[in-house]
Amino acid sequence: AQKITQTQPGMFVQEKEAVTLDCTYDTSDQSYGLFWYKQPSSGEMIFLIYQGSYDEQNATEGRYSLNFQKARKSANLVISASQLGDSAMYFCAMRGTNRDDKIIFGKGTRLHILP
C-alpha cells in the first residue's frame, strides 16, 4: 500500500525567508508521481508542482522547487522568498501506476508566514 507522511503539523516562517516542507512516501511501484497542493483558508485545492519518479532533475515552478531524494523516498517542497500569501495548508500527494493509481494525500502542514 502507498503512504504519504508529512511530519510537520505547523510551521512559522518570517516573510522573505525560504521554507522547506517535508514529505516522505512509501510505495512499491517503480513509476510514480509526486504532487504538492496548496489549500488556502478559502478551501480550494491549488496544484503547485509535480515530480516524476524517473525525472533526473528536481522540479521547479517559479518560487516552488521540489527536493527529490528517491533513495530516501522524500519529496520536500521548498518555497523561496516566502510571502504573506503563502500562508496556507500544504499537502503532499502521490499517484502510483498499474492497479493502484489513485491519488493519496498526506495529512498536511499548516504554514504561517509572519510579517
Partner 1 sequence: DTGVSQDPRHKITKRGQNVTFRCDPISEHNRLYWYRQTLGQGPEFLTYFQNEAQLEKSRLLSDRFSAERPKGSFSTLEIQRTEQGDSAMYLCASSFEGVNTEAFFGQGTRLTVV
Residues interacting with partner 1, by CB under 8 A?
A: 4, 6, 31-33, 35, 43-45, 47, 50, 52-53, 89, 91, 95-97, 100-108, 110
Rounded to a whole number of angstroms, the minimum distance from the CB of residue 50 to partner 1 is: 6
> For residue 34, with 0-12 CB atoms within 10 Å meaning exposed, 13-18 middle and 19 or more buried, which class applies?
buried
Alpha-carbon torsion 28, 29, 30, 31, what sign?
negative
> Is 79 or 108 the residue whose CB approaches partner 1 more closely?
108
Please tell me the total number of residues recorded for the chain in this structure.
115
CB of 33 to partner 1, least distance (A): 4
What's the min distance (Å) between Cβ of 16 and partner 1?
Answer: 27
- Sign of torsion over alpha carbons 6, 38, 42, 19: positive
Comparing CB distances to partner 1, the nearer of 31 and 60 is 31
Is 17 in contact with 115 (CB distance < 8 Å)? no
Specify the residue, 1 or 115, whose C-beta has the smaller distance to partner 1. Answer: 1
Q: What is the CA radius of gyration of the chain?
A: 14
Report in angstroms how near the CB of residue 102 gets to partner 1 at its nearest: 5
